[in-house]
Amino acid sequence: MSENKMTFEQALARLEEIVGLLDNGSAPLDKSLELFEEGAGLVKLCSSMLDNVEQRVKILVAGEDGNIEQKDFKPVNE
């Protein structure tokens, strides 16, 4: 399946599969390199998907007056 048509869950599952194959150590060097490159692309894809979702997430906050306000999500480390 093309990386562009994968869901986040599919990409993550494939990435876990690749890690398992590389951990096994039984693949020849050229196949290992191919798997590594595929994995790097999947990491980039998953990261991009998470960034896009993060930009869309809103949180509801109770204001000082007790009214609920909608604000943009800001990760704790920012």
Q: What is the pLDDT of residues 38-77, one digit of tens each?
A: 999 999 999 999 988 887 777 777 778 888 888 777 777 6
pLDDT of res. 77 = 67
> Based on the number of CB atoms within 10 Å of its own CB, is 21 exposed (0-12), middle (13-18) or buried (19 or more)?
middle
Q: Where are the domains of the chain?
A: 3-72
pLDDT of res. 4 = 65
User: pTM score, two decimals?
Assistant: 0.71
- Residue 26 confidence (pLDDT) above 60: yes
Hey, what amino acid is at 27?
A: A
- Residue 3 confidence (pLDDT) above 70: no
Tokens of 69: 């306000």
Q: What is the mean pLDDT of residues 7-26?
A: 95
Q: What kind of fold does domain 3-72 have according to CATH?
A: Helix Hairpins (1.10.287)
